[in-house]
Structure 1
Amino acid sequence: MTGPGPVDDDRGCLVMVLAVPLILLTLVSACFCWTALTIRPSGVWDDDAYAGIVPACVMSAGAAAATVAVWVVPAVRRVLGWGWVVPALVPGVVAGVRWATGG
């Protein structure tokens, strides 16, 4: 009896390939969030520190948004679940709160 061969499921390899940009963007988001959280202004007059916090927060939130943008693609979403996006969203949200509260 002949029939179609077994289905070659490459999902394991596909997950690894699609996970690379998500992991890199998560690391970028976490790094900039850490930077935004560790910058401590010396006082209300320390404009340079506040000027450093804002771009760090923007980059962290931007990397988190880029992670979501990559995940929204249907081909990626079929293979990778929410568990791949949440680690990038957490530092993005933390940085957004830091930015909104003014440092």
Structure 2
Amino acid sequence: MTGPSPADDDPRPLATVYAVPIVLLTLVSAYFCWTALTIRPSGDWDDDAYAGIVLACVVSVGAAGVAAAVWVLPSVRRVLGWGWVVPAVVLGVVAGVRWAVGG
């Protein structure tokens, strides 16, 4: 027998390997999105709070963007459906809106 065994066609181990970075990046994006949404500046003069909001938004959008970039790779898309990247993209959009709205 010279052909590949049926066990070689099982995409589950590969899906697990590809899912790990997407899940971790989604968790990072979720944490920083939550941080950006919960920071409350004390007033218009509270530049540190506004800088914290911007930094949390940038990290959240960045992590979501990297998760989406990983998912866009053809080898990853073949194994993982779009449902794996939707939460990261939603979190990135929420953080982007928070960033645009400001404090």
Tell me whether 46-55 or 2-11 shows the greater mean CA deviation: 2-11
RMSD across aligned C-alpha pairs, in angstroms?
A: 1.6
Aligned position for 1:7? 6
Change (3 A) 1:28 1:7: same
Aligned position for 1:50? 50
Aligned position for 2:25? 25
Q: Unpaired segments of 5 or more residues in structure 1?
A: none
Which of structures 1 and 2 has the bigger CA Rg? 1
Taking the aligned partners of 1:10 and 1:27, their CA distance within structure 2 comes to 27
Shift of 1:4: 5.7
Provide the secondary structure at the position in 2 that maps to 1:45: coil
Amino acid at match of 1:82: W
Q: Unpaired segments of 5 or more residues in structure 2?
A: none
Amino acid at match of 2:6: V
* TM value normalised by structure 1: 0.92
Aligned position for 2:41? 41
Amino acid at match of 1:7: P
Q: Tell me the matched-pair count.
A: 102
Amino acid at match of 2:55: P
Tell me whether 27-36 or 8-17 shows the greater mean CA deviation: 8-17
